[in-house]
Amino acid sequence: MSFVEYKDVIQNGDTAIVFLGHDSMFAIKVQQGGATQTKYGAIRHSTDLVGKKYGSRITCSKGGWVYILHPTPELWTVTLPHRTQILYSTDISMIIMMLELKPGSIVCESGTGSGSLSHAIIRTIAPTGQLYTVEFHKQRAEKAEEEFSDHKVDHLVTVKTQDVCKEGFGVTNIADAVFLDIPSPWEAVKYAKTALKIEGGRICSFSPCIEQVQRTCLAMTEEGFIDISTFEILLRVYDVRTVSLQLPDFGAADKNNQDTPADTVSQSKRKWCTDSQQGTTQFKSGAPLREMSGHTGYLTFATKSLS
């Protein structure tokens, strides 16, 4: 496996996703002799996983079963160990498209955080692109590097431990896109401009508060960025279910009137009658979840124009 290339068969050293049921999955590193406990019993890596196909149903020691999945950045985002607050796939999707990323893109990112966005960027720019990611927290930077190497994408990413607001990205005029997820992005805008290619490029900044957005937009305008636009994207998930509602009971009808001519009104009445013998009517519904994420952050995009 690799995060940038599908493989059919599980091998030693792979990161795989164990799927227990809806909203219940976790990532494991497949290791010869290793074992993973689930509520359905143990999974023994050597016998249960290695050599099996991704997407197989794995029977655990207690007889229960799970599915084992090939990792993707989207699955990784919901299973990764949090070291920071992370970006989720809804925002990430928008960032990737609005930054115009594709195979071969050179991207600068800060901070690396837990690497949720980094994996999605790497997936998109492989096999010829490069991600330069800057994280001033040494331990987080090292952990991210370790993960990139575990996921066999370390050749596509360079992790730098420095303060992007003071030292920038450490690269000049090579990036197609820059992404900022830091508390004071306005301090890094000038470094973003330096990092971007001379012929231009795209920038995105993610901030939870509108005051941050305002300062960032000002900084972008001062640095000559154009087409500055701020978005907020919200995800609505629907629960698909069959709902049955009870029909009102109008009491017994006059038996003699049952067979009146079949005009539309009486047809629909008759339909109710047949249904009402059960007392309910059923329909499929996509009902919004009881709770949803109301705000993650504002996404501000802009273009570095020709200088």
Partner 1 sequence: MPGNGDRPNEGDKEEMAAAATTATDVPRSHTVCEGHHVVLKRDDVFKAVQVYRRRKIIFEKQWFYLDNAIGHKYGTTFEVSVGGVLQPLKAKSEEIEELNEAGVDNRNIIDDGKSQKLSRDDIEALKDQGLKGQVIVKHLIENSTTFRDKTGFAQEKYIRKKKKKYEAFITILKPTTRIMAMMYHCREPSKICHLRYDTLAQMLAFGNIHAGCKIIVAETCAGLVLGSVMERLGGYGSVIHMYPGSMPIRAAMENFGFPNSFYDHLHDFPINQLNCLLSGSFSAENETLQNQTKVVSGEDNRSPLSTQRGDGVPCAETMMDITQAGETEAKDVACEETENKDQNAVRKSNVVERKSKQEDRLKKLQAAAAALQERNADGLIIASRLYPSPLLLSLLEFVAPSRPFVVYCQYKEPLLTCYADLRERGGVINLRLSETWLRSYQVLPNRTHPKLAMSGGGGYILTGITVAMDRGKSVASIPEPQEFAAKRQKVEESIS
Binding residues for partner 1, rule: CB under 8 A, are: 4-6, 8, 19, 22, 25, 53-57, 67-70, 72-74, 89-90, 92-94, 96-98, 100, 102-104, 120, 123-124, 126-128, 199-200, 210, 213-214, 217-218, 228-238, 240, 284-286, 298, 300, 303, 305-306
| Choice between 120 and 171, CB closer to partner 1 | 120
Nearer to partner 1, 280 or 285 (CB): 285
Nearer to partner 1, 141 or 302 (CB): 302
The tokens of 103 are what?
A: 């195979």
- Residue 59 Cβ, how far from partner 1 at the closest point, in Å? 12
- 221: amino acid identity, one letter: T
Q: Nearest distance from residue 261's CB to partner 1, in Å? A: 26
From the CB of 211, what's the least distance to partner 1, in Å? 9
Instruction: Tell me the pairing of strands 177-180 and 201-207.
Output: parallel
Q: Can you tell me the distance from the alpha carbon of 116 to that of 194, in angstroms, rounded to the nearest whole number? A: 25
Q: How far is the CB of 160 from partner 1 (least distance, A)?
A: 24
| Residue 172 near residue 197, CB atoms below 8 Å | no
When the beta carbons of 13 and 21 are compared against partner 1, the nearer one is 21
Exposed, middle or buried: residue 271 (CB in 10 Å: 0-12, 13-18, 19+)?
exposed
Q: Report the alpha-carbon distance of residue 13 to residue 132 in Å, rounded.
A: 25
- Strands, sheet with 298-304, edge to edge from the N-terminal-most edge strand: 157-160, 130-134, 106-110, 177-180, 201-207, 298-304
* Closest listed residue to residue 214, CA positions, set 195, 200, 193, 228: 228
* Distance in angstroms (rounded) separating the CA atoms of residues 178 and 175: 7
**Which C-beta is closer to partner 1: that of 98 or that of 161?**
98
CB of 251 to partner 1, least distance (A): 34
Tell me the closest approach of the beta carbon of residue 250 to partner 1, in angstroms: 29
CB nearer partner 1, residue 123 or residue 140: 123
User: What is the 8-class DSSP label of residue 87?
Assistant: -
Whether residue 127 has a cis bond before it, omega within 30° of 0: yes
Nearer to partner 1, 9 or 253 (CB): 9
**Closest approach of partner 1 to the CB of residue 152, in Å:** 13
**Cα gap 120→94, rounded to integer Å:** 11
